[in-house]
Every structure is written in C-alpha cells, then in structure tokens.
Chains A and B, each alone.
Chain A
Amino acid sequence: MKTLWNETARIEAYIFGSYGIADSLVFKANLLLDPDLAEKVSYQNKTYTIIQKYGREQVKIEIDLIHQKLFTLPEHSSFRQKIKQLFTKQ
C-alpha cells in the first residue's frame, strides 16, 4: 500500500480513485472491518461537496463585485451604455 502519511490522505486517495487496484481492495477490506473509517469516508465526501459549494459562492461574490464596478465606475460608462441600449429597445 502507498505510504500516505495520515488517514485523511488515505481516505482522499480512495475517494479520488488514485489508488491502484490492490491498494483499493485493501482499503475496501479495512472499510468492512472498521465502521469508524466508513463514517469518515462518508463525511470526507460531504466535505468535498461543501468545499465545492463554498468555492462557487465565493466566485459568484467576486463576479457580483465586478458587475458592480462595470455598472457604476465612470471608466466603464461606454460599456454600460451599450448594454442599457439593448434593453431599452424592447
């Protein structure tokens, strides 16, 4: 088995599929024998999901700030006008 320095890293290798077949089988055997490990795998999976969701939220906040700049700062007034015209023609 790969020498990964801690359990969290080993769980990650298993979840991300970076183990080879033999290492993966050993890990699966450990999962059957150790309910605590199985629980940690489950929560670590949830953790990646939460990080992904958090990342998206943060990028959306950055994009909102950029939008505010583009639609308020004087140096972007020609861009702003161009967009506004599209919606006033309706």
Chain B
Amino acid sequence: MNTINHTLKREEFFIELYKKAFPIVAKFIANRGGNFNEAKDIFHDALVIYYEKNVAGSLPVNTNETAYLVGIAKHLWFKRFNNNVSNISLDDFDVADINITEEASAQRIINFLEKSGRKCMELLKSFYYDKQPLTEIAELYGFSGIRSATVQKYKCLEKIRESIKQKALQYEDFME
C-alpha cells in the first residue's frame, strides 16, 4: 500500500525524487535555452502529476520513477514550447474538471473555505486527493475508528457542499 499520502513520508519521497530527477530535467531545459525558474516550474508541475498518478495507483507497472517523472517534465516542456504559452496550467494535463471561466470563482471559494472550513477541507483532501485509507485518517484526526471517520467525512462533505452553494450564489459564473 502506498505510504506517500502521509505528509512526512511525502517530504522524504519528494526530496529523493528532486535529487534524482531535477538535475536531468534542469539539464534538458537548460540545453533548450530555458532558465532556472522555468525548470523549477515545469519540475514542480511534473511532481504534482506524478504524485497524483502514484496515489491513484495509475502508474504503469514496474515504472522507473525517475524516468517516468522526467518524461512528464519533458512533455510539459514541449507542450509549453509548442503552444508558446508562458504559463502552463496543471489543469491542462488531466484530472481537474474545471474551466478557465470557473477558475477565479473556484479560487475565491477555496480562499473562503480555507478560513471557514479548514479542518473539513484537510480531512476531505486526505481522503479524496491523497487517497489516504480511512484507518490512517481515523488515527490522524483522532476518530475512534473507520465508522466514525466515514461519518465525519460525509458530514464534512455536506458542510462544504452547502458552503459552496452559498458562495456560488455570489459567484454566478461558477455554476454556469
């Protein structure tokens, strides 16, 4: 089972990948006239994509992690270069179902939820984004067991859903 969905494990995992793969990505981008900040941005986006694929269990079997990560970074670089887009978006890659007109409203809603519902957002992130097992979530958040963690997860989901509804009425483009 995956363990990198845990914050401390994730840090070790990212540092190891950084040390192994960033020199290769940086060399590739430097050789093509890119600068340090471009290499950094591309690499960070590649790490996020690699992480999401890893926790979702959608990496190909027997993947060489460094080679795969470098492959994602090269893909992002070519995409940026070919499209002549100065600021590539992670949302272009896959997963997120959100369009540009929704983007600003979504960000405002997140800013609001970070203040008013941070605890719930963290719990929901652990489950839906980091794909952390409910047993670990129960331990991490101090619930008595899986059942209690499940109940809390749905309570939070409902609470956040209702908050989003309230805010979306203010940001009409979000629900178009």
Interface status of A25 (Cβ within 8 A of chain B): no
User: Does A87 lie within 8 Å of B36, measured CB to CB?
Assistant: yes
User: Does B27 lie within 8 Å of A86, measured CB to CB?
Assistant: yes
User: Does B157 lie within 8 Å of A53, measured CB to CB?
Assistant: no
Query: Looking at chain A, what size class is its interface with the partner chain?
Result: 35 or more
Determine the chain B residues whose CB is within 8 A of the CB of A87 once the complex forms. Answer: 26, 30, 35-36, 39
Query: Looking at chain B, what size class is its interface with the partner chain?
Result: 35 or more
User: Does A54 lie within 8 Å of B44, measured CB to CB?
Assistant: no
User: Does A60 lie within 8 Å of B44, measured CB to CB?
Assistant: yes
Determine the chain A residues whose CB is within 8 A of the CB of B138 once the complex forms. Answer: none
Determine the chain B residues whose CB is within 8 A of the CB of A66 once the complex forms. Answer: 11, 14-15, 18
* Top 9 closest pairs, chain A to chain B, by CB: A55-B129, A86-B30, A8-B158, A55-B125, A47-B161, A8-B154, A43-B165, A87-B36, A51-B124
Q: Which residues of A contact B (CB under 8 A)?
A: 5-6, 8-9, 12, 39-40, 42-44, 46-60, 62-64, 66-67, 69-70, 79, 82-84, 86-87, 89-90
